[in-house]
Structure 1
Amino acid sequence: MPTPRTRSISTKVTEEEYAQFEALAGAQTISEWAREVLLRASKPSPSDQTIVAELLALRMILVNVLFSIANREPLTSEDMQDMINRADASKLAKALDRLTTTTTEPQAG
């Protein structure tokens, strides 16, 4: 048995916005359509997850390479592969964390 919906959200819209929502809702009620849109918008899409994960992995690799260069440390192909493996291992978890953390403050790290 589905969990009963006991809470509500409301907002004011213009006549034009209401007409747009009616058209987008199609056969659904506007309330049901709006509920689905809100729930979908609150979850990161797979493409968002992938893009953020790859950017975070690239950032991690770049920072480590630049740190090695700045400290005049030799960077072997084994070191590079290790950096790539570490970045790949943690990128999805970090991306999901970034995409699902709600904050008004800039995120650290």
Structure 2
Amino acid sequence: MGSLVFPLLWIAMACVAGPLFGIAGAWWKRSAQPWRRYVALGAFGGLFGSEALHSWLILGYGSQAVACAAVACGLPLLLGRTAKERAWSLAAMVVASFAAYLAVYGPLDQVSA
């Protein structure tokens, strides 16, 4: 209580994540290149996938992990335009989930240790 480390770390992460998800939104909505749409939807799902991993592995909250995993899988499935886009976006979501988990919770584990 009273430490500014975690709020400052989350503010720094927000300054990085905000523009990245803004670009992902533009790629998903406007890009003519299919791979950009796959990556964008995978990134959106990966955000919830990383939260599912954290809830399951670190916190032990099974029901929250299942809910986050359902949203992580549901976003690419619901927002994808074609079956191919849905499949590639799900694959990108799995990669993005682990990448986001390591990028966010790796530094937080180092700070809290």
TM-score of the alignment, normalized to the shorter chain, above 0.5: no
Which one has the largest radius of gyration? 1
Name the TM-score, length of structure 1 as normaliser. Answer: 0.29
Structure with the larger helix share: 2
Name the TM-score, length of structure 2 as normaliser. Answer: 0.29
